[in-house]
Amino acid sequence: MKTDLPKTNLVLKRIAVKNIVDTKGVKKIMEHFADLSTVE
């Protein structure tokens, strides 16, 4: 179990980074759609 901890932390960090990237991407997409809706 102790040997798995570093690997788990690495995976959690990777997931956290992925989530940050995803939220930034989602925000960009939402802003893009907001721009489209204001144009129409």
pLDDT in tens, 17-40: 999 888 998 898 888 888 877 765
Q: What is the structure's pLDDT at 16? A: 92
Within a domain: 40: yes
Q: What is the structure's pLDDT at 40? A: 53
Within a domain: 27: yes
- Largest Cα–Cα distance of the chain, in whole Å? 57
Domains held by the chain: number:
1
Residue 24 is encoded by which pair of tokens? 């930034």
Confidence category of residue 3, pLDDT binned at 50, 70, 90: low
| Enclosing domain of residue 20 | 7-40
Residue 17 is encoded by which pair of tokens? 């980074």
Q: What is the structure's pLDDT at 13? A: 92
Q: What is the structure's pLDDT at 30? A: 86
Within a domain: 1: no
Within a domain: 15: yes
Within a domain: 2: no
Q: What is the pTM of this model?
A: 0.49
Within a domain: 11: yes
Cα–Cα distance between 30 and 33 in angstroms, integer?
5
